[in-house]
Amino acid sequence: MLPATRSDEPRLSDVLPSCLAAVTSEDNRLGLPAVSKTVVVLVDGLGASALRQRAGHARFLTSRFFKKATLVSGFPTTTAAALTSLTTGASPGQHGLVGYSALIPASQRVANQLTGWAPDMEPSLWQRRSTVFEHATAAGIDATAVGPRRYESSGFTHAVLRGAEYLAADSISDRFEAARSVLDRDSRSISYVYVPELDMTAHAHGWQSDRWTHLLEELDSAMQSFVRTVRADEGVLLTADHGVIDVPETSHVLFGGDEHMAGVIHIAGDPRCLQLHLDPTLSAEARQAVLDAWRESEGERAWVLTRHEAIEAGWFGAVDDAVVPRIGDIIVAAAKNIVYYDARKPHDPSRRMVGQHGSWNSDELMVPLLRFGAFER
């Protein structure tokens, strides 16, 4: 059985469109009431399972963490794809950011979708959909994004936050202060606050580390202080782009043998979700042989699909024709608690990561949706 999400499940791509609809007094997928101002707090890497298991360290957040206070992030469970779905309301197959790294067909370059922007990835073209912020400003509603200074001028920011004024604030508490100032300044607004610290710490030390727990406590305190200032016409949501699982080095799966890589010219995706691009001149028999090799060795611990099978299964949502070649010819999505690394690159720095995400594990896929202020009612 292939994993899938139900079409009736609330998902991350519903969040910002629903907030904009709340400001314009329209019905929305999340059932949010009409408000004048909204704030979405996006905590990178805060999975629903991890929050539940650390409830004692986040008493304020978990006071709103009811049984159904969750969302489906979407596949692949990686920041570049998920944040773009959040800000556009579209699937990866529509907005075009289909993985942590992806092939740029025109230049035949595999690019990191967060940091690898270059002239062959013009932000206004590579990210194919208008953002919710652009829709808001067109409707006369102020749109603001608050995040670390180091992201202010990045290609990814230009791609997914276009239409929003960017306010730089480097600490978690400073970002909430900036969000409060926006609420005080604007009569109608939609704001986005980005908190990357938990994900960064999870990658380096694991979400089960003391450092991650201390950051969760800091977030919980800052969020409580912010929510105390929220007025009757202001609604606040807290959610995440994906969760994280801790993967020990003993669970690294190394690949690179001839039968697995014959004809593979590009490796993209994530360690938990490889996207393999084959030489287009490869015969149908040779392509099948590579697929069979992966299925034979990995079929018990991963889903191994062709691009066509993944699209047919709805993994990337509706897929525009121009996005199809960005997706790997073969997708290897980890089902077990493992990650994949190319044995031919022994010094790959990502092999030091503890926290991982990208595939279909529920700890990666399910994220919290916590409601505060006017959205509590």
Query: How far apart are alpha carbons 41 and 16 in whole angstroms?
Result: 11
Q: What is the pLDDT of residue 141?
A: 98
pLDDT average, residue stretch 12-25: 98
pLDDT in tens, 37-66: 999 999 999 999 999 999 999 999 999 999
Residue intervals in the chain for CATH 3.30.1360.180: 249-353
CA distance to 40, 263, 344, per residue, from 258 (Å):
47, 9, 12
Residue intervals in the chain for CATH 3.40.720.10: 12-90+129-246+360-376
Q: What is the mean pLDDT of the chain?
A: 97
CB-facing half-sphere around the CA of 361: CA atoms within 13 A: 26
Assign 67 a pLDDT band (cuts: 50, 70, 90). confident
Architecture of domain 12-90+129-246+360-376: 3-Layer(aba) Sandwich (3.40)
Q: What is the pLDDT of residue 171?
A: 97
**Residues 6 or more apart from 119 whose CB is under 8 A from it?**
none
Q: What is the pLDDT of residue 182?
A: 98
pLDDT in tens, 329-377: 999 999 999 999 999 998 899 999 999 999 999 999 999 999 999 999 7
* Domain boundaries 249-353, corresponding CATH code: 3.30.1360.180
pLDDT average, residue stretch 319-325: 98
Assign 1 a pLDDT band (cuts: 50, 70, 90). confident
Residue 259 in this model has a pLDDT that exceeds 80: yes
Assign 6 a pLDDT band (cuts: 50, 70, 90). confident
pLDDT average, residue stretch 153-163: 98
Count the residues in the chain.
377
Dig out the tokens for 166 from the structure.
């960017």
Contact 355, 338 (CB under 8 A): no
**Residues 6 or more apart from 233 whose CB is under 8 A from it?**
35, 36, 37, 374
- pTM exceeds 0.95, yes or no: yes
Query: How far apart are alpha carbons 359 and 365 in whole angstroms?
Result: 8
Q: CB-based burial of residue 9 (10 Å sphere; 0-12 exposed, 13-18 middle, 19+ buried)?
A: exposed
